[in-house]
Structure 1
């Protein structure tokens, strides 16, 4: 494609080093889609005749079929998917095929191909996230009245509804949904017509190709169009935080399902055994979720480091943007494929969870707040209850085994209205502040969650408006 300028052919070792077919041959369908839109635009402005346009469209359709059937194999000498397809078109159509690249550079061609590809993959991730949110809502509804320990510093802190726990993860993943929508929006401009970097002297109709390909508008600056990969960074940012949220959930499950905790029950189908120890039930899937998070974070850093020192506009470094992108897309798809059915099969042992809270010390804050309700300053109440816990430990007692006489001795302020509060269920029910763990508040969160999922579906559905 550049032989007119050069006196030597490209060295074989350079061809091997610079080719990107291992990264972009899978994008052939999207390249052809962009080329058809470009050809139709050229026809609409008179740069292709009706007959030339017909032949080009037929040729591109034939090439697409050849690629699907495996009869057309790419040549490394032609570097990438784009040049392989164009070369085959010229082979089929002669000079007519050579007209397709009129008013176009590989720079804007690659960009539109990547945006079409990434838009489809992000929409697929949207459906996976929607399924993830739906199963969390289901778990929240099923387990709303099961009481489990809530933790800070991995130490028992206060009793919570298990439904509240599920909705905590729902809330985190709902923010990921918003980040994914932002990534979709950031790629939702059509680069075709930006050319190599400065546009074209030909009468290109950029709005025409944008509409055909389902973009609401063309990109607004040709230099930025060629140089920027913000839309990829936005996906990587989503993916990194999504993976972090998955990793934290996995860490919880590994801990809560261990024998030392034991109140979260993992399905056998999502665990493995030991090659040596017959009793083992290992949470390998969860551990791999944690492990792959580092890879996704690494791909974000990889892209940012690549971009940070590049001068405007195009530099060949940008060819490498696809490697980490495709790897992270694959990993996110795999996470969603395994996480949704795993969550659907997880069970909670409410009796075991209650047994873990049998000393009642999780109610210490409730006792302190009872004293506050009687007019005692909180810091004084905090100190009094801390001393009470210390005395219980010295006597080898706990909040549930202290007699009424002992309560009267250790906490003279405790009236008849105090003793009904010494209940895990009461502690949960009374935390009725907005967003709290009371059963009513969790039910409200679940109701709002269903509305969020419906709105999320409606928002991402508008991004696929192709007219080809």
Structure 2
């Protein structure tokens, strides 16, 4: 009977073992050991398929499945420690199966290559990871909806070019990010769909001469479809690029949100009070309250974005099909998963705990002539062409700057200096809250529109669950 050793399972054509430094250089256990559950799932499905096409007897299948369960128990209890000499999770599990079952264990790799095996493990792993991130993202979206409802009556300056522009409801602000993150949710869903493809049975690159039933394994493993082309299948990392793009866009949005809130925490703005639990102090200055949770979120975005470029650069010049370079695909992806996961864990309670400081915001509503457009549109309603009203109001702003006045300080006589159409009702225009509610166009900042958005958002979140 053939003897099976601890040598590499591909070592037959080699006259010597790999150099020790090569073993360290080529091993991937520090990353792909995370795949062990999915590798076992794939092996169980493959074994059942081999049984269905009469390559395993009933008794052999039962033995293989039983030992695969034993191996899973050994891994979870820590009694099975992987060996670097066996390079990766796939070879370690297969080697252990052979140790326990001998030649029967060696049959598990019939019709299978590590190329389609790792593709199967990775896709199963990514499906689980994306779903878990989406579950947390739903909770985050609900938090934004709650904040929008809570702050719907709070008026803040809206900005363009970081200059005071027009007044908006703070609820409208929170909803702006709600919509950005719903698009991120959709991008993760698209990545999930791209991932949900069965690669098992593609072999090393060309399929198999054996009558493998790929639909059988697709059904067992819960994939939506089976891949169409074996060459494409073992070389494909598009699904990882799509995930990294979704993760990068999510992190871009969290970074922009964090930047706003960091600015709003400053003494110069002082719009909000972030929760103490997500801030830190200074080792030297006892007065400091630093928004570290937000700053770290902003900082961590760069690592995820660079991960997208990392993988793109890795595969840009690879010929078909499999190349060992692809082993490096795990580092940026696992980093992105971990980063998005912890950012959601931090941002959700952080955002929930932010308090608007209306007394501090109010003086800012008197700066920057936020109601200039409202005054221009007041004249438009009275029949003055907009380009003319724009110049009129610009001149009024210049006058106010020179006289150190606000719009509210002007007398009717001063208004008449610029146009006779101004009447006493101009004073009714000069309320930030009224200005907010006048912007009732679909998607505008009026509280009625914010309330409508919130209700639409609630329905969207229900559909996501």
TM range (shorter): over 0.9
5 Å-filtered alignment, 1:92-131, equals 92-131=100-139
5 Å-filtered alignment, 1:253-332, equals 253-332=261-340
| Structure 1 residue ranges (4+ consecutive) displaced by more than 3 angstroms after TM superposition | none
Measure how far apart 1:113 and its partner are.
0.3
| Of 207, 212, 221, the match for 2:215 | 207
Equivalents in 1 of 2:193, 2:22: separation in Å? 37
Measure how far apart 1:411 and its partner are.
3.7
Q: Does 2:436 align with 1:428?
A: yes
Equivalents in 1 of 2:419, 2:276: separation in Å? 48
Equivalents in 1 of 2:435, 2:426: separation in Å? 12
Alignment partner, residue 49 of structure 1: 57
**SS of the residue 2:135 aligns to:** helix
Measure how far apart 1:25 and its partner are.
1.1
Alignment partner, residue 226 of structure 2: 218
Alignment partner, residue 460 of structure 1: none
Alignment partner, residue 23 of structure 1: 31
Change (3 A) 1:82 1:423: same
Measure how far apart 1:359 and its partner are.
4.3
CA contact (8 A) 2:264 2:271 kept: yes
CA contact (8 A) 1:147 1:160 kept: yes
Per mean C-alpha deviation after superposition, the further-off stretch among 297-306 and 263-272 is 263-272
CA contact (8 A) 2:412 2:422 kept: no
CA contact (8 A) 2:369 2:407 kept: yes
Per mean C-alpha deviation after superposition, the further-off stretch among 407-416 and 212-221 is 407-416
Equivalents in 2 of 1:226, 1:427: separation in Å? 59
5 Å-filtered alignment, 1:7-22, equals 7-22=15-30
Q: Does 2:99 align with 1:83?
A: no
Q: Does 2:460 align with 1:452?
A: yes
Measure how far apart 1:360 and its partner are.
7.0
Equivalents in 1 of 2:419, 2:142: separation in Å? 46
Equivalents in 2 of 1:144, 1:367: separation in Å? 24
| Of 139, 145, 151, the match for 1:143 | 151
Per-residue deviation, residues 344-379 of structure 1 (Å, max 9, x unmatched)? 100101222122112471000001111112222212
Measure how far apart 1:206 and its partner are.
0.5
CA contact (8 A) 2:392 2:418 kept: no
Give the TM-score taking structure 1 as reference length.
Answer: 0.96
**SS of the residue 1:354 aligns to:** helix
| Of 177, 183, 198, the match for 1:175 | 183
Give the TM-score taking structure 2 as reference length.
Answer: 0.97
**SS of the residue 1:100 aligns to:** helix
**SS of the residue 1:357 aligns to:** helix
Q: Does 2:140 align with 1:132?
A: yes
Q: Does 2:426 align with 1:418?
A: yes
Equivalents in 1 of 2:163, 2:367: separation in Å? 14
CA contact (8 A) 1:360 1:400 kept: no
CA contact (8 A) 2:164 2:368 kept: no
Equivalents in 2 of 1:405, 1:78: separation in Å? 89
Equivalents in 1 of 2:410, 2:148: separation in Å? 34
Equivalents in 2 of 1:404, 1:360: separation in Å? 21
Equivalents in 1 of 2:404, 2:105: separation in Å? 88
Alignment partner, residue 251 of structure 2: 243
Q: For the aligned residues, what is the CA RMSD?
A: 1.0
Unaligned segments of structure 1, at least 5 residues:
458-468
Per-residue deviation, residues 183-236 of structure 1 (Å, max 9, x unmatched)? 000000110000001111111110111111111221111100000100000110
Unaligned segments of structure 2, at least 5 residues:
1-8
CA contact (8 A) 1:359 1:400 kept: no
